[in-house]
Amino acid sequence: MRNKAIAAYKSVIDKFPGTAAATSASEKLLKLGVEYPIHRKAVASAPKGEISQVFNLEVAQFGDLEVHIGPAPETQEVGRHFVIPIDIVNTGNGRDSFYLESGFPPEFDFHFAAASKPDAPINSTPNLAVGEKFKAVGVGTMPRGNIDGQKNSFPIKVISTFAREVSLSKELVLTSSAPLLRAVVKTDKAKLLPGEKVSYRISLLNIGTAAARGVTVRLNFPPQYEPVSFLSAGFKQETRATLVLDSVQLKSGESKDYTLNFQLKDEALAEQELFLRADVINNDLDKKESFVSATSVVQRVSGVAARTTAEKLMVIPGQTIAIPLIVTNTGNVRELFTIKANVPDNATYTFFDDLNRDGKRQSNEPIINLVGPLSPKEEAYVVLEITTPASANDGTVAPISVAFEPENAAARSAAVNLQLTYSRPIIELAMAAKGGRLRPGEVSSLELNCTNSGSNIAKQVTLQSIIPTQLEVVAADPMFSRSDNGIYTWRFDELGAGEKRNIKVTYRVKPGIAVGTNMQLKNLLSYQDQLGNRY
């Protein structure tokens, strides 16, 4: 159509040179990138007896570009804006503008802008002359949830509006700089008597590459303690069992130490384990880390502690998982500990002694129901191996508790509370179609929507649509992967949680179908989870 328009405009100029129509046609040719003067010289007649031919050539426009990423800081502080210079040069042979696209996720709040107006988002450049450069910037905010040293790499793409097939992609690499706060809470005594004083030293460190501003330290102590000296360290009492230190600032690599003294109340009961918990809160980034002190024991009695690194787990129904448990004898005698587990009825489980501490059962690691005997402060590594039911529903929460009871003092047991959340794919099939009566030759459509409403990825998703013989499939979007005697099959390797796939089938009633003929379109859906369980 462009070539036809150019030929038509040239014809007007040739037939009516010097007229207003010729002037208008010449201006329109310029907009199309073609120079054609409105006054044309007549071609001299060829000498008599000679044959003359003319061959016209015209340079076509092509699109091309260069993109240069300007220098940017090596690290970007989390929670703060960043600006990255981007130079775009039109290296084509005609005026052109360029679309701007990025792969930054929403939490970066990323947009393109002109360097002169960084706060005004744009999605394309102005119209650029040949060789003209446009200075743009990429503006965004480093997410507050990024950790120190985290590297993010996202693409940007610049596309010619004249020739959409011409584009250039670049990777923007950003390294996060953030404070990383740690606290070490140490006590000077592991065993206490009522009325005795104990001292705690709190070391607050920033091991991140950025400064921490506005840090709050909240110290929670057991009610058996009475604070003796804390004002000199800058703390104030917030509740009966909490001390608070506000407005702490720590540069990168800086540490600060605080010493607090407590007195154990006379009414403190025997066989109690006492510890302090320090909550370090970065108010700027809305992050909290908790650190606990070593345990101080009242008197010399039996005791046990248990912990795990996997309190909350996401599992697929039917999956067998191993949960590591660490059991510590906190008493002062060598002792055995009985294992008592509270596991849902529809799950099976065993405990084994993890001798090499790798979380996997070896041939020399026996199944057990007792731990030990353990010496004081000695640790044992136990693994709870549990097989979950394949019939569990998506999102179901199964609480599990494991208690360890000392042989000589069952009341001093320690429990580990676990939580299993079942996660599986749930694909729902919705069909939208125009029903009712159709005439022979009439075209209609059917829309199939597959949605994974579960919390886990679905694999090998297969959708079959059975089209009756009275109907003829005209088109399908996307195209089916297989067709066999009216059975049309679509296959998707994966369908993520919350992901949706749409299929549109256009069909036509075949000619000659008798009035009143009933037709039924049937659709079948199957898929499997990551363990291979089929649904």
| Interval 259-272: pLDDT, tens | 999 998 877 776 78
Closest by Cα among 40, 34, 1 to 19: 40
Q: 75 is written with which tokens? A: 């690290």
Contact 250, 181 (CB under 8 A): yes
Mean pLDDT of the chain: 86
Q: What separation in angstroms does the CA of 423 have from each of 313, 314, 444, 534? A: 10, 6, 39, 14
Q: Give pTM, 2 decimals.
A: 0.42
Contact 189, 293 (CB under 8 A): no
Contact 459, 529 (CB under 8 A): yes
Could you give the domains of the chain? 1-42+54-59 (no CATH), 65-176 (2.60.40.10), 181-298 (2.60.40.740), 304-422 (2.60.40.10), 427-528 (2.60.40.1170)
Between 246 and 52, the higher pLDDT residue: 246
User: pLDDT of 323-365, one tens digit each?
Assistant: 899 999 877 678 899 999 888 878 888 999 888 888 888 888 8
Does pLDDT of 44 surpass 70? Answer: no
Q: In sequence order, which residues have a C-beta less than 8 Å from that of residue 284 and are 6 or more positions away? A: 79, 212, 213, 214
The reported pLDDT for the residue numbered 39 is 62
Cis before 478? omega within 30: yes
Contact 14, 29 (CB under 8 A): no
Lowest mean pLDDT across 16-20, 220-224, 377-381, 402-406: 16-20
User: pLDDT of 419-440, one tens digit each?
Assistant: 888 888 988 888 887 766 778 8
The reported pLDDT for the residue numbered 529 is 86
The reported pLDDT for the residue numbered 109 is 92
